[in-house]
Amino acid sequence: MPRSGRRLPATRPVALAALPAALLAVICAGPAPGATAPGAGSPAPADVRPLAGAHAPTGAPRAATFDTAPARAALQRLLPRHAGQFTLVPDPAAGADTFTVSGTAGAVTVRGSSGATLLTGVGWYLQHVAGADIGWPGDSIGMLPARLPAVPAPVTRSAQVPHRYALNDTDDGYSGPYRTFEEHQRQIDLLALHGINEVFVQVGAEYPYYRALQRFGYSAEELRQWIPGPGHQSWWLLQNLSGFGGPVTERLMRERAELGGRIAEQLRGLGMTPVLPGYFGTVPAGFAARNAGAATVAQGDWAGFDRPDWLDPASPVFAKLAAAYYAEQRAVFGDSSMYRMSPLHEGGRTGSVDVGAAAGAIQGALHAAHPGALWAVLGWQDDPTAELLAGVDTSKLLILDGLSDRYNRLDRETRWGGVPYAMGTIYNFGGHTTIGANTSVWLERFGPWRAKSNSALAGIAYLPEATGTNPAAFDLFTDLAWDAGPIDQRTWFAGFAARRYGRPDAEAAAAWEELRKGPYSTSSGLWSESQDSLFSARPSLSAVGAAYWSPKSMRYPAGSVRRALDHLLRVDPALRGSSAYRFDLVDTARQALANHSRVLLPKIKAAYEAKDLARFRTLTAEWHDGMRLLDQVTGSDPNLLLGTWLSRARSHGADRAEQDRYEYDARSLLSVWGRRSTSEGGFLHDYANREWSGLISELYARRWAAYFATLDEALAGGVAPREIDWHAFEEEWAGRTTRHPDRPSGDPYRLATAVAAALPPAAATG
């Protein structure tokens, strides 16, 4: 990874005068009393220099004006050929989250209440006037005329909800834990363009833990062993695991902290809120023995991992550790007005702890460091519980509902007692490359939920477990927050088809109408994502999905995707040059092949059970051909390459051993996920399956080839098939260091045409 070149200096004291009195008292008190383990008697680690502007609090009273330079820089990155045709005017008096777009041909003026809102206005102009799309991924800006069109009449838009939150706690892991600053910057630009104003910042979150805990009885080496590799840190922050994929080096942690600080500053520059992880009590084993007065609760097991302990927030040591944590966090990331915490996530144990009192202490520690800061908590499974809500000032709480579109008969006001919440969606799990989302459910619920007389709906929460895989879903979900009237799904998709490739086209419209009726109109009740592919499943004649926790069957008629592919192949050749068209074509071809795996496998099973060796060989040859074609077509798009994922990981290592360790961290997340007990007992293997070139050929195709070979031998010899230790097979792959291309190859159109030719016609698909 090309690094930024900026390093955190080894010494520079935090400006103590800037800290709250309660926090200052704790810091000046020095190491926690009773700390006697190795490292407990050593001086606190040297403080680091805050990044430029890090002390500027987010959420302060709005200034009379603001600097538009960050928005102009973002606009230059987004529209390098046309940025000069926009005039960005700061207009704080317009009201919060408001923009106005006006102007003549070649001279478009956008007025807005923040840098990010100015970019949202640009995004509105591109969508509704210029007819172009900057998606995630893919764009059609190459189709824009040299001179941008005039705005027929000035248009003013205001956000319908104050909170437009983005990024799941797992996004850094599943979207790319080793990404460059430029990749994160691109993500921020896209989020601003689509109206998001609150963004979770996870990169470097381990560093405040690493520094603060050295004051509480732990050596630097112990903590480096405890902190996982970057690929698995999302779940460590959720208190689910520790250590796996590590150890990490101090150099890596410092670089990641510096990167996270730059991301936070980038958000502040645009007037967006960097949402930082808060401290709710995660500690390494043995904390109570090293710190007098501490009380901890063992958290037991999470999917086969031993969870870190939970420090009782009501114990006296908690406030001191929390204060030290927030001080270290401030030094690198600065202040914010919003912090993410989900104590007791997915089965955490309360022991004898009073949950209400604990929640109050967690919020109290947050407010001691950041007075009045908002606590964002994930609405997931049974959380947040009534006990937690009873212990806090709920006016300073926002629930990010991860289940808004998954289940039926939801009443969030009754469930959470009127606590403000954001309607959320998790339409992607583990970074799966499957197309689709419950978009009709979003449209059916958002308006009525807002209009309820007792509505507590205060925002949207864009929460796919991985981002950058589904541009239509991203566009539509973020539009909810800015459209004053109900959105008609059919009309919206027709407009999306037109701007996605730069101008209206009958075949493009027909393709997206098929996708709308199929994968983008799945219903609520049980699932919020579509099925994954059997090509990426652990081999079995009875396989119904790749990830244990994914849908077990098709959630829409497969023919919709097959017909969409045919329509996309007939799009006007003049519109085929954009990255948006190429990605959509490849992605639709990939999905059509993936769907066919669910037709082909039952036929293979029938041939095997009938002991028809000739037919078995014919069908398995067709399966192998499909996987080869799948690897080739995904290899033609830059967003679907294993090589990029692996090269990013290796670039962080200072030597061969460290490079190999980080590559294992990245590979294991895609395959075994964890050690044998978690991969098998916790059903985490293939949780992050995805159809990427390189991953298909080197892992998935090899698995199926080995499996079919055992069945072939069994049929030919009249014997039982050999058993295969799949975990050992996958672990061997995770430990490899083979290289793969990080640049696309092949002609997407030719390869998508080959996919269409290899598949049954749409009429036979259903």
pLDDT band of 95, cuts 50, 70, 90: confident
pLDDT tens-digit map of 500-509: 999 999 999 9
Phi, psi (5° rounding) for residue 497?
Answer: -60, -40
Nearest one of 416, 373, 415, 412 to 396, comparing CA atoms: 373
- Cα–Cα distance, 95 to 111 (Å, whole number): 11
Confidence of residue 96 (pLDDT cuts 50, 70, 90): confident
Average pLDDT over residues 187-192: 98
- pLDDT score for 64: 62
**Average pLDDT of span 424-437:** 98
Cβ neighbors of 328 (< 8 A, separation 6 or more) are: 207, 208, 211, 212
**Residue bearing tokens 């989250």:** 97
Q: Which residues contact 104 (CB under 8 A, 6 or more apart)?
A: 150, 151
What are the pLDDT digits (tens) for 219-234?
999 999 999 999 999 9
**DSSP summary character for residue 763:** G
Give the whole-angstrom CA distance, residue 277 versus residue 325.
10
The pLDDT tens digits of the residues spanning 237-256 come to: 999 999 999 899 999 999 99
The predicted pLDDT at position 762 comes to 78
Domains of the chain: 1-59+266-401 (3.20.20.80), 69-158 (3.30.379.10), 516-764 (1.20.120.670)
Residue 656 has pLDDT above 50, yes or no: yes
**Core vs surface per residue 348-376: b (16+ CB within 10 A) or e:** bebeebebbebbbbbbbbbbbbbeebbbb
Helix, strand, coil percentages for the chain (3-state, nearest 5): 45, 10, 45
Kindly report the average pLDDT of the chain as a whole number: 92
Euclidean distance between CA atoms 538 and 683, whole angstroms: 11
User: Rounded to the nearest 5°, which phi and psi values hold at 275?
Assistant: -90, 115
Per-residue pLDDT reduced to its tens digit, 24-69: 333 333 333 333 333 333 334 444 333 333 333 344 344 568 999 9
- Predicted confidence at residue 626, as pLDDT, reads 98
pLDDT for position 32: 35
Q: 432-466: string of b/e by CB count within 10 Å (b at 16+)?
A: bbbbbbbbbbbbebbbebeeeeeebbbbbbbbbbb
What pLDDT does 134 receive?
98
Taking the C-alpha atoms of residue 200 and residue 398, their distance in angstroms, rounded to an integer, is 14
Q: Residue 324 carries which side chain, given as an amino acid letter?
A: A
pLDDT on residue 63: 52
Q: What is the pLDDT of residue 397?
A: 98
CA 467, distance to chain mean position in Å, is 5
d(CA 310, CA 297): 5
Does residue 14 register a pLDDT over 90? no
Q: How far is CA 527 from the centre of its chain?
A: 18
Ordered DSSP codes for 75-126: HHHH-TTTGGGEEEEE-GGG-TTEEEEEEETTEEEEEESSHHHHHHHHHHHI
pLDDT tens digits for range 197-216: 999 999 999 999 999 999 99
Which residue has better confidence, 63 or 450? 450
Which residue type, as a one-letter code, is found at position 221? E
> 3-state DSSP call for residue 660?
helix
Lowest mean pLDDT among 86-100, 175-189, 365-379, 596-610: 86-100
**Would you say residue 465 has pLDDT above 70?**
yes
